[in-house]
Chain A
Amino acid sequence: MNAINFPANQPPDRISASIVPKMTARNIDVFYGAKQAIRNVSIDFSREHVTAFIGPSGCGKSTILRCFNRMNDTIEGARVTGEIRLDGVDITSPALDVVQLRARVGMVFQKPNPFPKSIYENIAYGPRIHGLAASRADLDGVVESALRRAGLWDEVKDRLKDSGTTLSGGQQQRLCIARAIAVDPEVILMDEPCSALDPVATAKIEELIDDLRGRYAIVIVTHNMQQAARVSQRTAFFHNGAMVEYGETSMIFTNPVQARTKDYITGRYG
């Protein structure tokens, strides 16, 4: 297992040395109680590229993703060691204010989870608690632009007062993305955002991810190889808690270095 020497454990700067990474993680271990779920993972990602995490179920993709906005803090018994930096600032210290961190690092979950409140309130909640809107009109503007960027505005502009839970699954997921971008984060973490959606809704969200690239550093966990190939420029393959390979998406899918990566993407296991 640990016999493999990952080329990817060198920071992936070899791919694009000129790019300044948004987040850097070094030597991350995650434990649930006594069980180790992530082993010595180091990875960087930037705004310029969408990064996809792939790997078989249970390999730790969600776990490593939750390290970047410290959502593992909310899990009883979870312990994270290692160093994670956002713009060069360590975010793992207990003294760090997770509230501010999570405003800068947004998250979209696998299951759409709108608040059981109005569509408007779903979007307005984040900006309001962070004091991002000075007035009611300001807030209206924030809500509209977030919904527009999520490609949902035309569908919901006449029913902003309806409950977010009355939307279809795909609309709910785009509402959740709009909610995440309404607080204007720098990083967006998406954990299998399309796993509950039909191809049309999936296509919309993939388009959206492509639009958001460059402005936000986006990390997306997916089980769908085509999706990873379509939306990402960087792909990391995880297996059994370790990062086996990380590199340009086109390289990973056409010419992987590791045999196990090849086995996985060609569907031989996983």
Chain B
Amino acid sequence: MANIPKYYESLNLDYKPPRGNWMDRPLNIKSGIYCYPARPNVLAGIQMNDRSDWGKYWVVEDEDWELPDDWKERFLNKMRDMLDKYRTFKIYMDICVRCGACADKCHYFLGSGDPMNMPVMRAELLRSVYRGEFTKTGKILGRIAGARKLTKGVLRQIWYYMFQCSECRRCSTFCPYGIDTAEITIMAREIMNELGMNIAWIQESCYKCIHTGNHLGLQPQAYKECIDCMLGDIEENVGISFDVSWNRKGADILFVTPSGDVFAEPGIYTLAGYLLLFEYLRKEYGFDYTWSTYASEGGDFGYFTANDIAKRMNSKIYLEAKRLGVKWILGGECGHMWRVLNQYMTTWHGPVDFLEEPVSPITGTKFENAKAHKMVHIMEFTADLIKHGKLKLDPSRNDRLRVTYHDSCNPSRGMGLLEEPRYVIKNVCNHFYEMPENTLRDQTFCCGSGSGLNASENMELRMRGGFPRQNAVRYVRDKYGVNMLACICAIDRAAFPDAQRYWNPDVGCTGITELVANALIMEGEGPRTNNLRGFEIATWEPKP
């Protein structure tokens, strides 16, 4: 032996993280994971009962969060109110048996490896306070009963992790008790509003929506300009020119879509798709619809902050429908808009008796599922048109694309819209490939940026959250050469390009209506050598 020198010793490397009870672990607030807080003046602009009344701006990484002296009472009083008001909340606080079925179902846990992102732990953050402050056993037994008092440290932890939940509800589909951790996040965020602790991305969007009609803050003239601009592009690429009507009383149908489609790429091409599809229907079948600059937002960021704000923002759509006297409302490709409509709208505003039960003016199909809220999803509408042979389509125009489909959380888990989008894609594209089953339909993975977490400063969080979905995309990319990810949500379309630049830089992102419009044969069209994005159909290589 002995040709190996003595100093050939073990390396002193230890990367094992601290162990022990989770309540004792230090909280490491990391930039890139949290979103910037909302400014007090913005909060004041939404008339929220919160930080606006003591007006302090706060910085997340600072030790001092500039809380008011009575912060603890504010928090606990609000929590007590919510426990009294919402029975589900109380039940969710009481019945979790910590079976762990939900533990590994959250995309943020799968992407971060941080156990505090297990849904059960996320809920436990608030549940421990519930036990420690509201239950007898918790007050007596303390930690043995998993209880603790609310302290500033605990509050920091709750805030940090409640803004790492996209309210996607994937975890709830696995819970044997049906505990919906998304609801717990919703409650926690609303409780923290009492301390003005919501994020800029959400509150600014609400502020803009309340003041200008949409999350992007596009004023009516800007909104119209954006659409005029798309009409110009359509003229260039499709060779036909037409106009659309605005705020028109007496139109049959009001069309509402998230404002992300009006301004952000690649959503604007989905918007171009709507425009072209409706023009086709107008020419062929006399389809009669109008845009609105007042109901210029389908999404509802209020839903990510407080019940009242959500209700207020949702009401605009119906007030406008009533004012214009339309028969029913057609909705664009949006995610949470549909969850709000299907699960909350009728409780908020009662029966919508001033609108008719939606019937397709072209096929005569009655959309019975939309009986209560009177709003039809564009995918149901388009699938029905295709089923009845009402669209002239040339799917070969999409032949460069090998498409896969991402079930956006809210339409799939929130309203069960599973087959229509697939049916539409298969009719307008020749190459369609599904991702693995345990990443689809009701088990779909979130894009990683839902529930108002689609800001820029939390890019690392978004990449973590997007990883499980992108991992499945990568699989079909390698196996089938997939180069396009289709979805039906404006937040997806804003989130995926970033996620794909990071995880799958050779896969693009599209809304389904863009694919439909590219395949649609318009009467009087010019040579369709370009797609709606202005790229040559024959040579296009999609990129995120």
Chains A and B come from one and the same complex: no
Chain A contact residues, CB within 8 Å of chain B: none
> Residues of B at under 8 Å CB distance from A?
none
